[in-house]
Structure 1
Amino acid sequence: MKYEEMEVEDNMSTVIQFVLLGFSDLLNLQGLLFGVFSIIYIIIFIGNSLIIIITTLDAALHKPMYFFLATFSSLEICYVSVTLPRILVNLWTQDRTISVLDCVAQMCFFLILGATECFLLVVMAYDCCVAICDPLHYPLIMTPKVCLQLAVGSWVSGIAVQIGQVRQIFPMHFCHSNEINHFFCDIPPILKLACGDTFARELSVYAVALFVAIPFMLILASYSKIISTVLRLPTARGQAKTFSTCSFHLLVVVLFFGSAAIAYSRPKSSHSAGTDCSLCSTP
């Protein structure tokens, strides 16, 4: 693979394009992997699109819970579309190069959508909490205007948190290698390519990770109140029925924050291709 570089003013060479190495060591399985990922992408796209269409057309589903579900489905389509189509192109064409500008754009959208999903999960936990713990006041609290404000606030918060993160990474020079040992442009594998001391950048990654822990704590607080309320219900059947309304959300929370904690809380030296690649498909 050709290593492309350019000279900068301080006589340091810097990369002008990267090479994504994901699955490059599985040459005999490229066709199979292309088929598997194509099916996964189609299922995600069609499944989430159906949720959006059904919740939009069915007047009985015009409720806060289904509004947030449709918003989450829209976000999920965008989230996987940032990475999966590029993976499919790489598998089909075997051309794994990506320009620095495209890499910046992919990382920016991936991080913004990930942070937005994080905040939206908090909103959905709050919605469940109000619905279960204070059902009489639920229509007064979760009005259409409030729901829209919470959804927009999730997007604004995600953009604000991650734009600064991307600006921390891409002023750096990448002069040792242009091979990203990952499926897409993400912070940990790119930091491994940077010249000089990256301690300050790694510290900023940890700072953002700690900030994202705040929404997780809010979700835990919401579920603590939900569990406390559910356990006070008189029958086991009523407890199971009430808690089942939040079970899918709880599963998504565990998968999302668990994979994010593993991916972004480890020091740069402990990242490996196998571990990073196993996390990329978890939203």
Structure 2
Amino acid sequence: MANFSCVTEFLLLGFSSLGELQFVLFVVFLCFYLIILSRNITIISVICLDHSLHTPMYFFICVLSTSETFTIVILPKMLINLFSILRTLSFMSCDSEMFFFFVFAVTNSLHLGVMGYDRYGCQSLHYPILMSWRVCEHLAVTCIVSGFLISLLGTTLVFSLPFCGSNKVKHYFCDISPVIYLAYTEAYINEPVIFICGVLGLVPLIFICISYEFIVSTILKISSAEGKQKAFSPCASHLIVVIVHYGCASFVYPRPSAKYTSGKDRLVTVTYSIITPLLNPMVYSLRNKDIQLAIQKMIGKTGFSVKTL
């Protein structure tokens, strides 16, 4: 290690190999970024301002929309880098970017698990007791604190490694796998713990599966086909998001850095860090009749009239 100088900054290669296509990517990702922010801000504002939406289900949707603003951690810098010649990021900035990204991302994953429990509660006659406001607040705080602690543990382990070789990160932000790949060590002590951190992010999937096992068993007891469809329809959107989110996350994180492949990881990361937050507001909220009516009421107060979304 004496023959190498310690890394003080990282060079984000991102999509630099695509040449002139970077301008096209800039336009596409900028549109995605504006859509993600506008949709989530709309949902948060509508739920907060309309008292008829002050129920546990919409409370969780509001928290989910808040956690999905993690795109503000990575997308602005990525957009700048698509036009920059110098794509450097200081050591501390890389640490901070990774930490805040995973605070939002892990909180989002945990929150999806809580929403699975909420969907199970919807099938129960004891729903007002299972999902009281006190329970909702405790669950939301637990998700946030757990996301903070898991992210703190993961980033501390990553940046305690020696970085004394290459500083070229083959990614568009400081993600765990491409950064560990640059560490001047085999990381045989740290990697198992980081692997456990990745697995912890998948723990909510277990609770989701258990919740849906109870949900399905409850729905099967309904005699009419129409009743079964009506009972399961609120769960369909949640299942779609869960499959996409955890499918991509399980491909990237719970594995050793030796199996890191930059090209595939960039593609999969774009899916869950940009495409999923882009689709979630539409899947969860904007197709919801109550939220549509609430948006119409808000726009109506401004003097404009709109058709049903």
- TM-score, length-scaled by structure 2: 0.84
Inter-partner Cα distance in structure 1 for 2:114 and 2:185: 40
Alignment partner of 1:13 out of 5, 21, 39? 5
Amino acid at match of 2:254: S
Report what 1:52 is aligned to.
44
Contact 1:183 1:280 in 2 (8 A): no
Alignment partner of 2:92 out of 87, 90, 101? 101
Report what 1:127 is aligned to.
118
Report what 2:127 is aligned to.
138
Report what 2:32 is aligned to.
40
> Is the counterpart of residue 242 in structure 1 residue 231 in structure 2?
yes
* Structural RMSD (CA): 1.5
Inter-partner Cα distance in structure 2 for 1:156 and 1:267: 26
Question: How much has 1:61 moved relative to structure 2?
Answer: 1.0
Amino acid at match of 1:98: L
Can you list the C-alpha shifts for 1:89-126, whole angstroms capped at 9, x where unaligned? Answer: 11133331111111000000111211111111111111
- 1:199 is paired with a residue of what secondary structure? coil
Report what 1:278 is aligned to.
267
Question: How much has 1:11 moved relative to structure 2?
Answer: 6.6
Greater shift, 96-105 or 52-61, is seen at 52-61
Alignment partner of 2:148 out of 141, 151, 159? 159
Amino acid at match of 1:60: S
Alignment partner of 1:194 out of 180, 183, 192? 183
- 1:98 is paired with a residue of what secondary structure? strand
Question: How much has 1:193 moved relative to structure 2?
Answer: 0.6
Contact 2:12 2:170 in 1 (8 A): yes
Question: How much has 1:12 moved relative to structure 2?
Answer: 4.5
Alignment partner of 2:76 out of 85, 88, 91? 85
Can you list the C-alpha shifts for 1:179-231, whole angstroms capped at 9, x where unaligned? Answer: 00011001110111111221222211221233333221111000111111112
Inter-partner Cα distance in structure 1 for 2:30 and 2:199: 35
Inter-partner Cα distance in structure 2 for 1:218 and 1:150: 13
- TM-score, length-scaled by structure 1: 0.92
The ranges of structure 1 where at least 4 consecutive aligned residues each deviate by more than 4 angstroms after the TM superposition are none
Report what 2:159 is aligned to.
170
Report what 2:104 is aligned to.
113
Contact 2:110 2:143 in 1 (8 A): yes
Q: Extract unaligned runs of 5+ from structure 1.
A: 1-7
Q: Extract unaligned runs of 5+ from structure 2.
A: 274-309
Identical-pair percentage? 38
Alignment partner of 2:192 out of 184, 203, 215? 203
Contact 2:6 2:164 in 1 (8 A): yes
